[in-house]
């Protein structure tokens, strides 16, 4: 085989098959062509005056093209399925294999991501079941104070204030100015650090319980909301394993 090459291009003459092929490559864009003798003869290592080698090569029959310039979606197109047999010397096969590997890994990543999302969705039902079953009132709020969830115990406890109708409204509407400021101060403290997650806010001796304000965070630790945690200190009156 006989070769010619220059900046961004390479051409080959296969004497055994009397076949001329050439490739061009520039900034991620790649093309492989079958060319004729006239084009091949006009190519020069340094290019002839007034003639651009890549433009000359581009006059041939395109066998294969690919692009992975990071600005567009990577792709490759085989215009002739025999491109590798016609030009086994070229970089086309390597690029095609690399592209196939890229999309294989991308598909695996997307499949894994989808499975993770499905698992999260499945767990959501479990999380809600835990909250629903808690005998203490639980009211979840976004960091902007909008109530997004109330468990049955909370709906019953705050029935006179609207119960389930409170969902979607601001928690601050249920508090006086002093309480609003305290809630705001705690929220500011939560935002200072991912480690700031729980504050003891008051003691209710009548119900023998302690109450805390607890931060809610996403997987990356960003604050997404908060809730009041009620912990009753009464001794349990149920018998052990009473299944009657």
List residues bridging with 37 in a β-sheet. none
Residue at token pair 């009473």: 242
The per-residue pLDDT string of the chain (244 residues; one tens digit each, 9 = 90 and over) reads: 999 999 899 999 999 999 999 999 988 899 999 999 999 999 875 545 568 899 999 999 999 999 987 777 888 999 999 999 999 999 999 999 988 998 999 999 999 999 988 888 888 889 999 999 999 999 999 999 999 999 999 999 999 999 999 999 999 998 999 999 999 999 999 999 999 999 999 999 999 999 999 999 998 999 999 999 999 998 888 888 878 8
In sequence order, the 6+-apart residues with CB closer than 8 A to the CB of 19 are 13, 34, 86
Question: For the segment 170-223, what is each residue's pLDDT rounded down to a tens digit?
Answer: 999 989 999 999 999 999 999 999 999 999 999 999 999 999 999 999 989 999
Query: DSSP characters for 133-189?
Result: H-SS--EEEETT-BEEEE-HHHHHHTGGGTGGGGTTSBGGGGS-HHHHHHHHHHHHH
The predicted structure's pLDDT at residue 166: 96
CA distance 210 to 140: 18
Domains and CATH numbers, the chain: 2-106 (no CATH), 134-232 (3.30.450.20)
The predicted structure's pLDDT at residue 45: 52
Contact 149, 139 (CB under 8 A): yes
List residues bridging with 109 in a β-sheet. none
C-alpha of 194 from chain center = 22
Report the predicted TM-score, pTM, of the whole model to 2 decimal places: 0.56
Q: Tell me phi and psi for residue 237, to 5 degrees.
A: -100, -10
The predicted structure's pLDDT at residue 240: 85
Q: Pick the closest to residue 228 from 206, 198, 208, 204 (CA basis).
A: 198
CA distance 240 to 155: 28
């Amino acid at each position: 085989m006989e070769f010619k090459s220059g900046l961004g291009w390479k051409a080959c003459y296969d004497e055994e098959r009397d076949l001329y092929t050439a490739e061009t490559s520039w900034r991620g864009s790649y093309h492989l062509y079958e060319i004729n003798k006239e084009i091949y003869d006009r190519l020069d290592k340094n290019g002839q005056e007034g003639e651009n080698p890549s433009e000359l090569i581009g006059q041939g029959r395109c066998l294969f093209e690919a692009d992975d310039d990071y600005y567009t979606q990577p792709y490759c197109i085989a215009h002739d399925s025999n491109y590798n047999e016609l030009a086994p010397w070229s970089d086309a096969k390597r690029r095609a294999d690399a592209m196939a590997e890229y999309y294989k890994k991308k598909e695996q990543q997307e499949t894994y991501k989808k499975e993770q999302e499905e698992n999260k969705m499945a767990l959501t039902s479990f999380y809600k079941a835990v909250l629903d079953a808690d005998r203490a009132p639980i009211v979840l709020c976004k960091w902007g104070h909008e109530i997004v969830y109330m468990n049955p115990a909370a709906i019953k406890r705050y029935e006179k204030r609207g119960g389930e109708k409170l969902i979607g409204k601001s928690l601050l509407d249920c508090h006086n100015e002093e309480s609003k400021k305290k809630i705001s101060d705690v929220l500011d403290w939560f935002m200072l650090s991912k480690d700031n997650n729980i504050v003891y806010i008051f003691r209710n001796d009548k119900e023998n319980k302690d109450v805390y304000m607890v931060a809610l965070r996403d997987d990356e630790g960003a604050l997404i909301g908060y809730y009041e945690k009620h912990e009753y200190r009464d001794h349990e009156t149920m018998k052990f394993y009473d299944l009657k």
